[in-house]
């Protein structure tokens, strides 16, 4: 059927108000598990340093003769001095005066809304950088200074594929690790995980977090002993099948399983958060830039570096493929 002649409809009318929701729906991930779990501290220079030390190896023959004198003294081992650089991370925005003044849906101030977005973006950038294979770089007037990332530090408690190699450094993590080629990538397994957890524990660490990308987080959930656990529910409710492993009970303590969107899928980290921190030379700050026209200019910046207090407190399984196991 058709409308009666001269029926005034929505298609003819003028001035009908638009129905635009006053909420902006944004689902881009903002979680930064590594940065959220490690410590935070302030530094006073673009190059910051700290010291590590080790106890002598335990000996089972330390028995001495009664009344014996010491005629030869054991040499004292000096501490190891480590360092890293800070890097500058920044975002900028310029908003026309008219846009800031008009009535907008979903936000009152365009400038405030965009600055909030930039803050979340910098945190994501920092998370991705800290978990990347980035060596420390001193920088120059023509090259940006870069902080050494986690992969540039870890060299003791690792398990890697054929062709993979740990970074070679003494005091500054300025080399980065050597990744195995695509043809030498391996499937993640419980055996590999147990090996690294044991290595960390043997060196004196007490790891509490295993951090993995989305594929290997799923593979972790399928490991024997932690996948398909069943809880007995009381009452009329059926028992619940657990499809994800959030805690792995190892021979050396419980570790939390944490998924991270911003790390490489080929790496799985075993971490003791007590021995890592983000060092800030300049914490997050908003800088109002010179006004040269009818627009508001802002710069959000942060100058920071990664401090791995003792790399032996952590470990990693490297050179993994991106296959979800059945």
Place of tokens 């530094």: 43
Q: What is the mean pLDDT of residues 38-51?
A: 97
Tell me, what's the pLDDT at 4? 72
Using a cut of 0.85, tell me whether the model's pTM lies above it: yes
Tell me, what's the pLDDT at 5? 78
pLDDT grade, residue 311 (50/70/90)?
Answer: very high
The candidate with the shortest Cα–Cα distance to 220, out of 262, 177, 191, is 191
| Burial (Cβ within 10 Å: 0-12, 13-18, ≥19) of residue 86 | buried
Q: What is the mean pLDDT of residues 100-126?
A: 91
Contact predicate 249/272, CB 8 Å: no
DSSP string of 165-226?
A: B----SSS--S-PBPPPGGG-B---HHHHHHHHHHHHHTT----EEEE-HHHHHHHHTSTTT
Is 70 exceeded by the pLDDT of residue 80?
A: yes
DSSP 8-state code for residue 206 = -
Contact predicate 282/299, CB 8 Å: no
Is 50 exceeded by the pLDDT of residue 227?
A: no
Is 80 exceeded by the pLDDT of residue 54?
A: yes
Is 90 exceeded by the pLDDT of residue 174?
A: yes
Q: What is the mean pLDDT of residues 216-244?
A: 61
Contact predicate 252/197, CB 8 Å: yes
Domain positions in the chain are 33-50+81-232+239-317
Q: Which of 238-242, 247-251, 317-321 has the highest mean pLDDT?
A: 317-321
What integer best gives the mean pLDDT of the chain?
89
Q: CA dihedral in degrees (283, 262, 200, 308; nearest 10)?
A: -20
The candidate with the shortest Cα–Cα distance to 210, out of 151, 149, 272, 153, is 272
Report the distance separating Cα 324 and Cα 100, nearest Å: 47
């Amino acid at each position: 059927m058709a409308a009666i002649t001269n029926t005034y409809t929505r298609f003819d009318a003028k001035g009908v108000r638009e129905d635009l929701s006053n909420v902006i729906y944004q689902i881009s991930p903002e979680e930064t598990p590594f940065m959220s779990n490690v410590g935070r501290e302030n530094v006073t220079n673009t190059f910051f340093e700290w010291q590590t030390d080790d106890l002598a190896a335990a000996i089972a023959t330390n028995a001495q003769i009664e009344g014996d004198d010491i005629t030869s003294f054991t040499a004292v081992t000096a501490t190891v001095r480590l360092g890293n650089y800070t890097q500058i991370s920044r975002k900028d925005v310029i908003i026309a005066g008219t846009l800031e003044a008009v009535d907008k849906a979903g936000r009152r101030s365009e400038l405030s809304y965009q600055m909030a977005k930039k803050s979340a973006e910098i945190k994501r950038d920092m998370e991705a950088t800290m978990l990347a294979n980035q060596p420390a770089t001193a920088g120059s007037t023509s090259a940006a200074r870069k902080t050494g990332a986690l992969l540039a530090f870890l060299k003791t408690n690792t398990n890697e594929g054929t062709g993979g190699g740990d970074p070679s450094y003494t005091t500054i993590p300025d080399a980065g690790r050597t990744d195995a080629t695509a043809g030498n990538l391996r499937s993640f397994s419980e055996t590999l995980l147990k090996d690294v957890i044991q290595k960390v524990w043997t060196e004196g660490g007490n790891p509490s977090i295993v951090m993995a990308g989305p594929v290997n987080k799923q593979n972790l959930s399928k490991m024997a002993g932690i996948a398909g656990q069943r809880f007995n529910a009381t009452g009329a409710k059926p028992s619940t099948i657990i499809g994800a492993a959030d805690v792995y009970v190892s021979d050396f303590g419980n570790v939390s399983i944490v998924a991270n969107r911003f790390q490489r899928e080929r790496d799985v980290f075993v971490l003791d958060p007590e021995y890592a921190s983000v060092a800030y030379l300049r914490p997050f700050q908003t800088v109002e830039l010179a006004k040269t026209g009818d627009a508001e200019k802002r710069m959000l910046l942060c100058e920071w570096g990664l401090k791995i207090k003792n790399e032996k407190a952590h470990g990693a399984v490297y050179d993994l493929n991106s296959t979800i196991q059945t």
